[in-house]
Amino acid sequence: MKFFKCLGLLSCITLSSLVANAQKTITIREALDQALRNNLQVKQAMYQSSLSAEDVLQAKMALFPSLSGQVQSSKNWGLSFDQTAGSLISNTSVTSAGASLSSSVVLFGGFQKINQISANKYQLLSNESNIEKVKNDLVLSVVTKYLEAITNKDLTTAAQQQVALSKTQLEAQRANYEVGNKTLADLSQAKSQLATDELSLTTAQNSYDLSILDLKQLMEMNPVTDIVLEKPPLPDVEKLVSTYVAEEVYQSAVQKYPDIKVAQLNSMVAKKNIDISKGGFYPQLSVGAGYGTNYSSQAADNQIIGDQIIRTPISFGRQLDRNRNTNIFAQLSIPIFDNYQRNIAVRKAKISYESALNDELLAKNNLNKVVNQAVLDLRTAEKKYYSTEENFKSATDAFEVLKQRYDVGLANAVELSTQQTAMNKAQFDYIQARYDLIFKSKVIDFYLGKPITFN
């Protein structure tokens, strides 16, 4: 029996050690770094930016001449005309081969290629700004969930303390009931208060678990990974600045906010697309050159000796030299009528540009609205914090006074339970208001372009 007891104790110690080792402590900085490193939306934005960089290179390379080569070989049977030999061939096989090189370049094409390079550069800048936009949104989401989890953790701790207090009161009521100092109603009220506090604890714990799960998803972390959040050094609430002017915050944010940059650069892309479409109305001038040679097994030199024609096959190397041909060309393509396709393309490009300008205006209006709302929320959060702080102090004092009255028989259990519930709610409201004020302050820093830190 002693052996099995020791074995059981050792197993419990080992299991506890494994659980402790399995837990991973995450700071808010680590959460942000892991989210930025692993988040799929950030990776997708980076892939899109890489594709845009390749589009820029592709547009630049289109300015250079193209060069292509061709090598061919064939074998024919039966009647055919041998272009290289210059004769009609029948009832024999012919082996032929050829090679050619050609190059061409567009000298003028309505500046379409130049404008395409500019459009692709603007698109690259837009996609790079979009990466910053996605990262900014992710940072704000991570900070929100992290502080939400810390808030729910504190609420859970407060709920646990209230459950412990209710259990103590229940034991005291049970002892007093057994000696006849309290009634069954007092005992039932204490049990009801404990059940209410346990329900609050369950709710707080569920909220904490859900916020942890949301945080793991933002970090692309396996949901089964057990993590513990390290509470950051929170700033002194009394020292937080709340006297922001919304217009000043907006004017600062609009200069650097990634959403605005993306919208502005998309407008530039759309404007360049108009120039690209208009380039289709210009003539296109291109020049080129080519070189080629051929070989045929039937090619021969004819020599007349007396009344006979002597055919001497021409060697492969000599044919390649003799059959060389070189050409240069210039081509001017003049657009005359294409079923209004170019006109329609220009009109569509102009509509797209107007749409992009409208999107830019919408982005600025949305930012202005969000900034004004954030400043208003900060002021409201500050007022709510000081109000809940005073309410919690008053509720705590009232509970202590009522408990003293209850202990000497001057108050009943219903009054004590009601006041305890009020104190619990006041404490929960105070905890939430404190974190809400801190978060609202950091949101303003976010729009001002300041890094979100808690040091």
**Predicted confidence (pLDDT) per residue in 53-78, tens digit:** 999 999 999 999 999 999 988 887 76
- The 10s digit of each residue's pLDDT in 145-191 is 998 998 899 889 888 988 888 888 888 888 888 877 777 887 888 88
Tokens of 440: 């609202």
What is the sign of the dihedral through the CA atoms of 348, 352, 354 and 355?
positive
Q: What is the pLDDT of residue 14?
A: 44
Q: What is the pLDDT of residue 447?
A: 85
Give the chain's largest Cα–Cα span. 152
Tokens of 166: 């209710």
Q: Where are the domains of the chain?
A: 22-64+109-282+339-447, 77-106+284-334
Tell me: pLDDT of 419 over 70. yes
Q: What is the pLDDT of residue 16?
A: 45
Pick the CATH number of 22-64+109-282+339-447 from 3.30.70.260, 3.60.15.10, 3.20.19.10, 1.20.1600.10: 1.20.1600.10
What average pLDDT does the structure give for the chain?
85
Band (135; pLDDT cuts 50, 70, 90)? very high
Task: Pick the closest to residue 28 from 236, 229, 235, 218 (CA basis).
Answer: 229
Tell me: pLDDT of 291 over 90. yes
CA distance linking residue 411 with residue 414, whole number of Å: 8
CA distance linking residue 314 with residue 299, whole number of Å: 6
Tell me: pLDDT of 210 over 60. yes
CA distance linking residue 152 with residue 206, whole number of Å: 9
Q: What is the pLDDT of residue 85?
A: 63
Predicted TM-score of the model (pTM) = 0.78
Task: Pick the closest to residue 440 from 391, 366, 373 (CA basis).
Answer: 373
H helix or E strand, kind and range, residue 293:
strand 284-296
Residue type, 369: K
Distances 379 to 17, 243, 383 between C-alpha atoms, Å: 47, 8, 6
Pairing of strands 308-313, 80-82: unpaired
Burial 319-353 (b: 16+ CB within 10 A, else e): bbeebeeeeeeeeeeeeeeeeeebeebbeebbebb
Answer whether 148's CB lies under 8 Å from 218's CB. Answer: no
What are the φ/ψ torsions at residue 68 (nearest 5 degrees)? -135, 150
Band (82; pLDDT cuts 50, 70, 90)? low
Distances 419 to 197, 352, 416 between C-alpha atoms, Å: 13, 64, 5
| DSSP three-state, residue 209 | helix
**Residue whose tokens read 């080992």:** 14
Band (17; pLDDT cuts 50, 70, 90)? very low
Band (425; pLDDT cuts 50, 70, 90)? confident
CA distance linking residue 211 with residue 254, whole number of Å: 31
